[in-house]
Amino acid sequence: MDKFLITGGKPLRGTVRIAGAKNATLPIMAATLLSPGSCEINEVPDLRDVQMMKEILTLLGTSIESGPGWCRINASNVASSHVPERLMREMRSSVFLMGALLGRLGNVKVSYPGGCAIGPRPIDLHLKGLAALGATISERHGYIMAEAEKLRSCDIHLDFPSVGATENIMMAAVRADGVTVIRNAAKEPEVVDLQNFLNKMGAHIRGAGTDTIKIEGVAELGSANHNVIPDRIEAGTFMVAAAMTGGDVYLENIIAEHAEPVAAKLREAGAQVDTVGELVHVQALGRLKAADVKTLPYPGYPTDMQPQTMAMLSCAEGTSVIIENIFANRFKHVDELRRMGAQISIEGRAAVIRGVERLSGAAVEASDLRAGVALVLAGLVAEGRTVVDHVYHIDRGYEGLEQKLLALGAQVQRVRE
C-alpha cells in the first residue's frame, strides 16, 4: 500500500488545473450502456474508480478505447446484465448501472452494495424509483434483481434529494413510455451534466439543476460526444489547501459558480477568493478565523468537502462547529486529526473544533477518499513530517494529487510498497 510522506510548512503558490469531475464521469460512463452507438467522453479523470467502471463495462460486453483524458465506449453488444459482486463491492457507485441496464435490456442483477466507511448508504430511494417505473424488484442471497418488460412513466417524489437515486431514475426513465417527473430531485451540477449527456444521445430531459426533472421517454438513443464538467470537489480541496497554507493559488478548468459554497466559507474565514477571467484566485495572509459549517445538498456546503474543511478549521483562530447533515458516520478523520494535535469533540452530527496554533506531523491512516485527502491537507501545515497510509483511497478520486501539490511547492512524496 502506498504512503505519502509530507513535510509541512510550505505555502502553496502557482496554478493548478482541475480534472474532470469523478462524480459526473461515473454516471455518464454508465449511461453509455443505454445506446447501441459509440460515445466519446472527454475530460475523463485518470482515477481508480474510472478504471473500475471501465472494467465493469468491459465485462458487460462493451468495447472501450481510451487515452489520456478521453474514452470511447461502444455498447453495441451488451452481453450481460449481471454486475459481479467483487466489482460492486469495490465501487459503490456501480449502483447507477441498475437504471442504465434496466433501460437497455429490461433486466439487471447486482450484488447489494452494502455499507462503506462513511456509514450506511441505503439504496431504498433508487429501488422505489425503479419500482415506480414498473420494474419488479427482488432481493435474494445478497443480490438485487430488477426486471421490466416495458418501463412506464410515473411521478416520483423523493423523500430526500439523493444524487444517485435521481441519476438512476433519470437513466431508466429515458426509455420509459411517456413523461416521468422526479420531484425533490437532487440539484447537483453532476445531475445537470448527466442530463446534458443523455440529451446529446437523443433523450428529452428538462429541469436538471432544479428540484423538478421531467423526462420524456424515447424509443432509442444514439451516439454522443461530451466534455465532462470540472470537478468542484477537487477544486474545493485545492482552494482550502491554498487558504490554510497561507498560499496564493490560481485554479484553472473550474466553474466558479460550482465552487461558490466553498468560496463563500473561505471568505468568511478570512481568505480572499476572486474570479479572474476563467480562473479562480485564492489567497490568504496570516491565520484563518473560525467558521461554522453545515453540510447540505447543493447549493449548500458539500459533504464531500467536510473533512478537508475540518482540517483547515483545526488550525484556525477560535472555535468552529461543523454539522454533518448528509451522512450519519462521516467523522472517521477526527481520530487521525487528533493524532496530529487537533482539538475536536464530537456530539452526534456535530463536531466542535478548537483551533490550535499548529498541528504536528504524525503517522495517520486514510479511511476513505475525502478523509484521506483531509489528512494530506493537515500534513501540509503540520510541523515536521506526516505519513499518510492507505493512499489508495485518495487515488480513487484525485488525479496526480502529489504531482499537483509538488508543482505548487509542497513537499510531498509517494512511497510505493
Nearer to ligand UD1, 25 or 180 (CB): 25
Interface with ligand UD1, residue 261, by CB under 6 A: no
Closest CB 231 distance from ligand UD1, rounded Å: 11
Interface with ligand UD1, residue 122, by CB under 6 A: yes
Residues 11-50 that bind ligand UD1 (CB under 6 A): 23, 26
Run of H or E including 171 = helix 163-173
Residue 171 contacts residue 201 (beta carbons within 8 Å): no
Closest CB 95 distance from ligand UD1, rounded Å: 8
d(CA 34, CA 156) in angstroms, rounded, equals 21
Residues 171-190 that bind ligand UD1 (CB under 6 A): 186, 190
Q: What's the gap between Cα 86 and its chain centre?
A: 21
Residue 401 contacts residue 6 (beta carbons within 8 Å): no
The size of the interface with ligand UD1 (CB under 6 A), counted in residues, is 20
> Which of 71, 116, 154, 315 does the annotation list as catalytic?
116
- Grid coordinates given for 164: 444517485
Contact region with ligand UD1 (CB under 6 A), list: 70-78, 115-123, 350-358, 384-392:
115-123
Residue number of the CB atom closest to ligand UD1:
164
Closest CB 149 distance from ligand UD1, rounded Å: 24
DSSP for 10-28 reads PPPEEEEEPPBPHHHHHHH
Among 1, 14, 85, 124, which residue interacts with ligand UD1 (rule: CB under 6 A)?
124
Nearer to ligand UD1, 14 or 122 (CB): 122
Closest CB 125 distance from ligand UD1, rounded Å: 3
User: For helices 163-173 and 22-31, what crossing angle results, to 10°?
Assistant: 20
Query: Hey, is 187 helix, strand or coil?
Result: coil
Nearer to ligand UD1, 370 or 404 (CB): 370
Q: Per residue in 239-276, is it b (16+ CB within 10 Å) or e — as a string?
A: bbbbbbbbbbbbbebbbbebbebbbebbeebbbebeee
Among 57, 148, 163, 388, which residue interacts with ligand UD1 (rule: CB under 6 A)?
163
Interface with ligand UD1, residue 368, by CB under 6 A: no
d(CA 278, CA 292) in angstroms, rounded, equals 29
d(CA 54, CA 125) in angstroms, rounded, equals 26
Residue 14 contacts residue 408 (beta carbons within 8 Å): yes
Nearer to ligand UD1, 165 or 374 (CB): 165
Query: Hey, is 175 helix, strand or coil?
Result: coil
Residue 39 known to be catalytic? no
Contact region with ligand UD1 (CB under 6 A), list: 52-60, 118-126, 205-213, 249-257:
118-126
Interface with ligand UD1, residue 326, by CB under 6 A: yes
Q: What is the residue type of 154?
A: C
Interface with ligand UD1, residue 200, by CB under 6 A: no
Closest CB 326 distance from ligand UD1, rounded Å: 5
Residues 64-93 that bind ligand UD1 (CB under 6 A): 93
d(CA 316, CA 289) in angstroms, rounded, equals 5
Nearest to 234 by CA among 370, 406, 390: 370
Residues 269-308 that bind ligand UD1 (CB under 6 A): 303-304
Nearer to ligand UD1, 250 or 298 (CB): 298
- Name the residues that contact ligand UD1, by CB under 6 A: 23, 26, 93, 121-126, 160, 162-165, 186, 190, 303-304, 326-327
